[in-house]
Amino acid sequence: MPILPIDTHRYGTPEMRAVFEEENRLQKMLDVWAALALAQAEVGEIPQESAEEIASKASTQFVKLERVKEIEKEIRHEVMAAIRAFAEVCGESGGYIHLGVTSSDVLDTALALQLKEALSILEKRLSRLEEVLMELAKRYVDTVMVGRTHGQHALPITLGHKFAVWMREVSRHIQRLRECRGRVLVGKITGAVGSQAGLGPKALEIQRRVSEKLGLGVPEVTTQILQRDRHAELISVLAIIASSLDKFATEIRELQRPEIGELAEPTKPQYVGSSAMPHKVNPEVCERVCGLAKVVRGLVVPALENVPTWHERDLTQSSSERFIIPEALILVDYMAQLMIDVLSSIRVFEDRMRKNLEITQGRMMSEAVLMALARRGFDRQKAHQRLREVVAKSVEEDISFKEALLSDPELGKLFTEQELEELLNPMNYLGTIREQVLAAVEKTAEERRVRGL
């Protein structure tokens, strides 16, 4: 009976959940045994016809998960149960299954095959998110809005600038995933304690051939297991990705607050925000992303704890990684899809952005005036202090910054009203934002071309 929300299909995309289904895991184990038998036949260790029979039956169409579980219940050994169920359908050739290897060879290599599938799915998902953000960055490159620091109005930016920053963050995550693939997508055929003694004189060649058949890397040297620094790196990268998705979602949640009202999740009239308050339209999808990010970040500690094991192997990493690896990949992939859904139809309220630019009555443009004074020969530090006094007057008397400047005995003589209008116009103080955004978009487009997109 399903218990966890991944099992009930509340969370997770169908593609990623399928990677970690029990049947797919069994299939990957069968794929490893088939590749091993074929490699051993190629170097003359077992008969070719036996290897072909093993390979032809290496499918859950023949080796049933139910039968494996039935045997495991009796003997209490997962891999040996699968070996027996496999041997039952291979006849006399079944005696060559798992020859010279140990359980970790099969489990670690099968896991690498699952990770190969999962990382391909996740990279495509992130590439789609990157594409959505690239389009948003271009569309809103000139849409001026308040830039905030410490939650306070700082200087004007554009919405495209915000989206471009997120876009490049996603681009870096794709790079991180691609960089760690070579360290993570590695199988092992080294037998007990990693010595390859049971595989005979052609052991290294057998391992090379198995890895080649499965499209995996060859480890430099192993104990009885692949070293878990590889998997700890992956979980750490996934946690960083989750944190960026959390960041995007948090920003949308903040900007959806009625007091700000600049962005909002897509919604439909039939969606219910509150069981008690009919008016509520909540950013619940973004909140879900933020909540799941907490879970993913929490998986880093057990991943790091899995790196130390006793001597050449123990089982302390096995039980925890059966939770953390599927969970991390399923949740991050799902979170990425949620952000694609939100950003693809995000509601942008440009009128509200313009109104919010006026909340400080021009005071947010104080740096523009400061720089103008510095260009006219004012000591920068003294000018800063004088402007702070003018800002205080604007606040206390509830008058615009322009009025406060014009009424100042000293500064009011330095600028005409028209000059102040120009200085206090947010459109005139965007620096190189447009150039930065378009350069970031072009860099992303070039990286996508290199990736074949």
CA distance 265 to 339: 10
Indicate the pairing of strand 152-158 with strand 263-264. unpaired
At 145, which helix (H) or strand (E)?
strand 144-149
CA distance 6 to 17: 8
> Taking a C-beta distance cutoff of 8 angstroms, is the pair 165, 435 a contact?
no
Catalytic residue list contains 345: no
Catalytic residue among 9, 56, 77, 274: 274
Coil/strand/helix, residue 162:
helix
Catalytic residue list contains 150: yes
The CA–CA distances, whole Å, from 24 to 63, 113, 243 equal 12, 10, 29
Question: Residues near 428 by Cβ (< 8 Å), separated by ≥ 6?
Answer: 368, 422
CA distance 387 to 365: 11
The DSSP letter of residue 140 is T
CA distance 208 to 213: 9
Residue ranges of alpha helices (H) inside 76-196 are 78-90, 103-139, 159-184
> Which residues are catalytically annotated?
150, 274
